[in-house]
Structure 1
Amino acid sequence: MCREEHQPDPRGADQAVFAALLEDSAEELYESAPCGYLSTLMDGTIAKINATLLGWLGRERAAVVGRMRFSDLLTVGGRLYHETHFAPLLRMQGEISGIALEIRRADGGRIPVLVSSVVKHGSTGEPLLIRTTVFDARDRRAYEEELLRGRKVAEEARRQAEADRARLQDALAVLQQALLPDALPPIPGVETAAYYHTASPDRLGGDFYDVFPIDGKRFGFFLGDVCGKGPRAAAVTSLTRYTLRAAALHDPDPVSALTTLNKVLHERYAGEGDPRFCTVVFGVLEPDATTGQTAVHLASGGHPPALVLRADGTAGFLPTPGGLLVGILPAAPFATATTVLTAGDTLVLYTDGLTEARTGEGRARLYGDEALLSFVTDHAGERPPDVIHALTDLLRGFGDGLDDDTALLALGVPAPGTETKHTI
């Protein structure tokens, strides 16, 4: 009778491996997790952070815990979004998930991430801290960019195949209109009017303007021109409008608003080797119901100077020399100016499509600043809608000499007893 040979039990090896896995402590699992973890106080101060996230950031724990807030880890644009959207929604809902942001490494690099947060409450319901998970989205971003490039190629091929120019113009008109305000808001004691001329129905323009309330007493306004045309210029226009509005609600100082926009544009596009920039005039109106006057504070980043048309029939430029294009450098100087509008006065802003229109024999001469000043002086004392109407007729008179988009914005104090209008 043969003795049965002893065979090893494979299940014993599997159980040993499984038991070894269970030997990992909770702290070890937290620190070495494949995603970032951090816990913050309700004001955002970081109280705990795992080694994974510290490695992504390239920072030491001692330099982060108790010394930085969660928003400090984000890019400038991310901090704006965190303050205006992420944090308010988290406080209201108690949790928020899958938000795309970018964290900033210690060496200045950026990492796209997906962020989810939940508020931990105490036994009596009071909020105690915020727990946040951070997932590395670099592979996803690369995939999305590749997918987007593929979609653009396919869309271009479809457009060429269809050769449906009329349909394309309709689509572009809708997109262009989406980049402009539907209506100008009513401002006590101030009358407004605006006009936008699209040079070509076949491409999106880069000019923009807006008027919006800041608080119960002040109103913001801006007008500018993005470098370039087409969808990429439209993307910059959309980012610029959103950033200026958000920045003004945080700090309405015109220089502060342009400084924030400069940081956002430079950080967003300079690192891609394809810098995007614009010229902008940003201002704040402060109507005074007692005096009937409106104070104007503005700053300019490389934009043509505003015009002030007075009730006495005079007009002149409001100089803002030295302001640099927005988005070119990490830090840029911006020129400031102030004025006061009284009854019958109007402030006019415009983009350079107006002054660079070609006139004369053979369209060889630019219209220019002096011709514009002479033209508006003839309309000084008129109401903003009438001034814009006159400028619109001027633009039409250029014919094919007007080959650039042009935005116009007029803000004025009407004469006593006059009903204010707000027209586009």
Structure 2
Amino acid sequence: MCKTDDSENSDSSTPDRQPGDEQAMFSALLEDSAQDLYEHAPCGYLSTLLDGKIAKINTTLLDWLGYDRGDLVGRKTFADLLTVGGRLYHETHFAPLLRMQGEISGIALELKAADGSRLPVLVTSTVRTGSDGQPLLIRTTVFDARDRRAYETELLRARQESERERERLKSLNATLQKTLLPPALVNVPGLDVAAHYHIASLDEVGGDFYDLFPLAAGTWGFFLGDVCGKGAAAAAITSLARYTLRAAAVYDPDPAAVLANLNTVLNHEYNGDDPRFCTVIFGLLTPDGDDGGFRVTLASGGHPPALLMRADGHADYLPTPDGQLIGVLPDAHIATTTVRLDPGDTLLLHTDGLTEAHTAHNSEGDRYGDDALLEFAQTLAPTTAVGAVAAIRDLLDTFGTGVDDDTAVLALNVPRSTSEEQT
């Protein structure tokens, strides 16, 4: 058995590599890779002297701008590449902050390309210092922001269009809301009237409604109601309820009969998978006696009771208990009551947006409530129709954003005679 000479089997054509040669090749490869990364990085690199003159620029940035290296290095400053507005910002903000902080990042600027076009960029600059801490040069990284600018432009366009659409919707809602309310309350001889509608949101049509209108000679009908829900669906019910009440009152002015007619209409039209209902209080006004007073007959279908503020300073709710929601049941129970308004008395009707308002300016605040409203009325009495509505408006203002539902109020007042006021 013979031994094989390794030297004979080795490839004599392959030169022996010394450890030093491999290290040199590796270093050269790293140097070449670093240089290539600098020149062809996905962002622009720029080095300037302290006076701003360009000392070094990579190929990526040159390609973006369309310049040759000789056009810029040693001949132009970084500020020369900026638009007029960018140059002004550079001199007044960018450069001073860079000197003070030694670094500034994420600044949006525009560079001027060789062909005159503009390149939106994001710029980050740092000051390189020597071992003695003295500044030597400025290194700047430039990111192409064209895609970002296009996205921001499209986002701004979409936002502006959305705002225009919202304004159109607000205008449409406001117009629709006006059609659901009387343009002006009719004049009732011997009676002062006032009303107010507080809109909780401009983006949706509310469901509150009221009206005052003449019937047979010497009688007037009035009502105030609140449809469940908001938006177009609620507006449709509001319109149906308002005109049904007027028509029913002409046919039979008895308040209980009027609400019974409305209940039949709503229950017949909306008794499927999407039932609709409302609360309503309907009243009939007739002059009563020689002193200018009025007899009022009220019927309520699940609505908050009316407030009566007497001329002697007493105030209380008018009892209309157990009145059921209008439109839910085929034969809803209608609660009725009758009262006389003497000179100086004020009758106030309201929707539950008032009593359900939050007393604090957030959703965690307590509800205002019926008891608080009664106390408020007791301190207000005696008052006038205009005075009562003005006081309610001021009260709603104190709730701010706590009023999260529309609120309607209607006040009727029998004014005192001149002799009574003097007394």
Structure 1-normalised TM-score? 0.59
Residue deviations 1:139-196, cap 9 Å, x none? xxxxxxxxxxxxxxxxxxxx98785211211111111011000011111111100000
* Partner residue, 1:366: 367
| SS of match in other structure, 1:287 | strand
Check conservation: 2:361, 2:402, Cα contact below 8 A: no
Distance 1:315 1:264 in 2: 35
* Partner residue, 2:379: 378
Q: What fraction of aligned residue pairs are identical, expressed as a percent? A: 56
* Partner residue, 2:172: 171
* Partner residue, 1:412: 413
* Partner residue, 2:194: 193
Name the aligned partner's letter for residue 180 of structure 1.
L
Distance 1:250 1:417 in 2: 38
Name the aligned partner's letter for residue 372 of structure 2.
A
Q: Does 1:263 align with 2:295?
A: no
User: Aligned residue pairs: how many?
Assistant: 259
Distance 1:186 1:354 in 2: 26
C-alpha RMSD of matched pairs (Å): 1.7
Check conservation: 2:291, 2:343, Cα contact below 8 A: no
1:3-402 counterparts in 2 under 5 A?
Answer: 164-270=165-271, 272-288=272-288, 290-360=290-360, 363-402=364-403
**Structure 1's 165 and 361: CA in aligned 2 closer, same or farther, altered over 3 A?**
closer
Aligned-pair CA distance for 1:379 = 1.4
Aligned-pair CA distance for 1:326 = 0.1
5+ residue gaps, structure 1? 1-158, 419-424
Distance 2:175 2:204 in 1: 12
Residue deviations 1:372-394, cap 9 Å, x none? 01111121111100110010000
Aligned-pair CA distance for 1:197 = 0.6
Residue deviations 1:344-403, cap 9 Å, x none? 100000000000001148542110011101111121111100110010000011001100
Distance 2:161 2:361 in 1: 37
Distance 1:222 1:375 in 2: 23
Distance 1:309 1:287 in 2: 19
Residue deviations 1:69-96, cap 9 Å, x none? xxxxxxxxxxxxxxxxxxxxxxxxxxxx
Check conservation: 1:347, 1:411, Cα contact below 8 A: yes
Check conservation: 1:190, 1:287, Cα contact below 8 A: no
Distance 2:361 2:266 in 1: 40
Distance 1:174 1:193 in 2: 21
Check conservation: 2:259, 2:326, Cα contact below 8 A: yes
* Partner residue, 1:106: none
Structure 2-normalised TM-score? 0.59
Q: After alignment, is 180-189 or 283-292 more displaced? A: 283-292
Check conservation: 2:182, 2:211, Cα contact below 8 A: yes
Check conservation: 2:358, 2:402, Cα contact below 8 A: yes
| SS of match in other structure, 1:378 | helix
